[in-house]
């Protein structure tokens, strides 16, 4: 989807601030606009529109080396915390 206008931004906080200031529409993550949606400050315009089927966060590590068990355990823990937090905060918006 291509849009144009007098303001462009690629920083989630800026997009959320501009949308809350009634400067137009924007596309931002729930991390940035979820609280404003829940408080009724902004509304979803295209709730069924998705950028990607699923957005992922990647852990970057050096190539060609085995991942230590402690790193794998930590990454699994962080993944679970992020999933639970997103469901807790934005479950009805996901």
pLDDT in tens, 22-38: 888 888 888 888 889 88
pTM beyond cutoff 0.75: no
User: Residue 1: its pLDDT value, please?
Assistant: 61
CB atoms closer than 10 angstroms to residue 35: 15
Residues of the chain with pLDDT under 70: 1-3, 52-54, 94
Q: What is the DSSP letter of 68?
A: P
Q: What is the pLDDT of residue 52?
A: 67
Structure token pair of residue 91: 């479950």
Give me the percent of the chain exceeding a pLDDT of 70: 90
Q: What are phi and psi of 19, to 5 degrees?
A: -65, -45
Residue 56: the pLDDT is 75
Q: Give the pLDDT confidence score for residue 89 in this predicted structure.
A: 85
SS3 of residue 38 by DSSP: helix
Taking alpha carbons only, the member of 36, 46, 1, 2 closest to residue 16 is 36
Give the closest residue to 12 by CA, choosing from 36, 48, 46.
36
């Amino acid at each position: 989807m291509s849009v144009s206008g007098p303001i462009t931004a690629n920083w989630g906080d800026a997009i959320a601030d501009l949308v809350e200031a009634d400067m137009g529409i924007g596309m931002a993550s729930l991390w940035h606009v979820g609280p404003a949606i829940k408080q009724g400050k902004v509304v979803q315009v295209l709730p069924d529109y998705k950028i990607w089927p699923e957005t992922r966060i990647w852990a970057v590590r050096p190539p060609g080396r085995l991942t230590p068990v402690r790193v794998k355990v930590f990454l699994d823990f962080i993944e679970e915390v992020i999933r639970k937090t997103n469901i807790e905060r934005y479950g009805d918006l996901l």
